[in-house]
Amino acid sequence: MSKLKIAVQKSGRLNEDSMKILKEIGISVDNGKDQLKASARNFPLEVFYLRNGDIPQYLRDGVVDAAIIGENVLIEKGNDLKIVERLGFSKCKVSIAVPKSSKAKSLKDLDGKRIATSYPNTVNQFLEKAGLKANLHIINGSVEIAPNIGLADGICDIVSSGSTLFKNGLKEIEVLLKSEAVLATSPMISEENQALIDKLQFRLKSVLKGRE
Ligand code: PRP
Ligand code: MG
C-alpha cells in the first residue's frame, strides 16, 4: 500500500505547531527528535523532518508528496507550488526594517541602498514592481545584526513578535507580505496519494473550523 510522504520543518517555530495539527487530525507519530523520518501508527503516512529552505525542491522533485510550510518560504523558493490549505498558525510578516535613527520610511527610500536579507527573490520581486534597485546582501540568519555592523542600510526579514527588531535597534517601515503555515503539494503526487491528501484535508478543514 502506498504511503503519503509529508515534510515538516525539522526544528524551529513551525515544527511544534505542525506536529500539533497532525495530532489533532488523528495522526500519531513517534517523535524521536533525531530521527529524520517517522511513520504514523494509524495512517499510511511518513513524516520527513527537513530544513525549511529545502522543502520546495523536495516537493518539486516529488521526493515528498506534501509539506506543512511557511507561505513565506514558498513565495521565496516555491512560487510554482500549489497551496491546498491555509493552516492559520505561525503567522508572521516579511518586512523591511531600518535603524531607528534612519530617515527611510518605506522600501522606496532604500533605492540604491544596501539591504541584507534571507529572502532575495521576495525583495527583488517588490523592488522590480516598484521600479527600484538595491544591493542585496544575502545572509542566512541573524539578519537583524547587519545594519549595526555597517553591512546594510536596511533589512528584509521575518517579523513575528517584533522582539528581534526591537533588541537590535531597528524599526519596521514596510510590510511586504503576510504569511502563515500552509499545506502544499507536489506536482508529481500520485493519484493514490492525492486521495490520501484529500482525506487529510477533509479532517484539517474540520479541525480548523473548530479553532475559529
Ligand atoms: C527569525 C526571523 C527573525 C525573528 C522574528 O529568526 O529571522 O529574526 O525570528 O521573530 P520575532 O519578531 O518574534 O523576534 P530566528 O530566531 O529563527 O533565527 P535566524 O534568523 O538566525 O534563523
Ligand atoms: Mg532571525
What ipTM does the predicted assembly reach? 0.97
Torsion-angle region of 40 (φ positive above 0: left; ψ -120 to 50: alpha; else: beta) = beta
Counting ligand 1 atoms within 8 A of each CB, the residue from 164, 167, 176, 179 with the most, and so the one to mutate, is: 164
Q: Parallel, antiparallel, or unpaired for β 4-9 and 66-70?
A: parallel
**Residue 32 predicted with pLDDT over 80:** no
User: Which is it for strands 114-117 and 154-159: parallel, antiparallel or unpaired?
Assistant: parallel
**Which CB contacts under 8 angstroms, 24+ apart, belong to 103-107?**
104/153, 104/154, 104/173, 105/173, 106/173, 106/174, 107/132, 107/173, 107/174, 107/176
- How would residue 30 be classed by pLDDT, with cut points 50, 70 and 90? confident
Q: How far does residue 93's CA lie from ligand 1's centre (Å)?
A: 11
- Please state, in angstroms and rounded to a whole number, the distance separating the CA atoms of residues 174 and 109: 11
CB-CB neighbours of 211 under 10 Å: 11
Show the domains of the chain with their CATH numbers: 4-90+181-211 (3.40.190.10), 92-179 (3.40.190.10)
Q: Which ligand is nearest the CA of 92, by number? A: 1
The pocket around ligand 1, CB under 6 angstroms, is made up of 12, 141-142, 144, 157-164
3-state secondary structure of 188: coil
In the numeric block, the cell 537583524 is attached to: 144
How far, in Å, from the CA of 156 to the mean position of ligand 1? Answer: 11
- What would you measure as the largest C-alpha separation in the chain, in angstroms? 61
135: which 3 cell numbers? Answer: 544591493
Summarised one tens digit per residue, pLDDT across range 103-139 is 999 999 999 999 999 999 999 999 999 999 999 999 9
pLDDT at 11: 87
Kindly report, residue by residue over 129-171, the tens digit of the pLDDT: 999 999 999 999 999 999 999 999 999 999 999 999 999 999 9
Name the band, by pLDDT with cuts 50, 70 and 90, for residue 212.
confident
- Collapsing DSSP to helix, strand or coil, 51 comes out as coil
- Report the chain's mean pLDDT, rounded to a whole number: 96
How many A from CA of 176 to the centre of ligand 1?
A: 16
Q: What is the pLDDT of residue 35?
A: 81
Contacts of 142 (CB under 8 A, 6+ apart): none
| pLDDT at residue 31 greater than cutoff 90 | no
Which residue has a Cα nearest atom 2 of ligand 1? 158
Nearest-atom index, ligand 1, CA of 157: 7
Ligand 1 centroid from CA 144, angstroms: 9
Ligand 1 atom at minimum distance from 161 CA: 13
Rounded CA separation 10/212 (Å): 27
pLDDT digits (tens, 9 = 90+) for 35-88: 899 999 999 999 999 999 999 999 999 999 999 999 999 999 999 999 999 999
Contact 148, 169 (CB under 8 A): yes
Is residue 12 over pLDDT 90?
Answer: no
The pTM for the full model equals 0.93
Pairing state between β 92-99 and 154-159: antiparallel
